[in-house]
Amino acid sequence: MGKKILVTGGGSGLGQSMARKFAELGATVIVCGRTLEKLQGTVDSIQKDFSQKAHAMVCDVRKPDEIEKMLDQIWSTGPLHGLVNNAAGNFLSRFEDLSPNAVDSVLNIVLHGTSYMTLACGKRWIAAGDPGHVLNIVTTYATTGSAYVVPSAMAKAGVLAMTRSLAVEWGPKKIRLNAVAPGPFPTKGAWEKLVPNPQLEKVWMKRIPVGRLGEHEELANLASFLLSDYAAYIQGEVITIDGAESLKGAGQFSFLGDYMGEKDWDAMKAKKPAK
List the domain boundaries for the chain.
Answer: 4-270
| Mean pLDDT value of segment 182-193 | 80
Query: What pLDDT does 42 receive?
Result: 97
Per-residue pLDDT tens digits for 107-160: 999 999 999 999 999 999 999 999 999 999 999 999 999 989 999 999 999 999
- Supply the mean pLDDT for the chain: 92
* Banded model confidence at residue 81, pLDDT cuts 50, 70, 90: very high
Lowest mean pLDDT among 4-8, 156-160, 267-271: 267-271
pLDDT at 274: 46
Which CATH code of 3.40.50.720, 3.40.50.2300, 3.50.50.60, 3.40.50.1820 fits the domain covering 4-270? Answer: 3.40.50.720
**pLDDT of the residue at 268:** 66
**Is 148 tagged catalytic?**
no
Asked if the model's pLDDT at residue 264 lies above 90, the reply is no
Where are the extended beta strands (E) located within the chain?
A: 4-8, 28-33, 54-58, 82-85, 132-137, 175-182, 238-241
Closest CA to 221 of 166, 175, 182, 176: 182
Name the active-site residue from 116, 141, 233, 259.
141
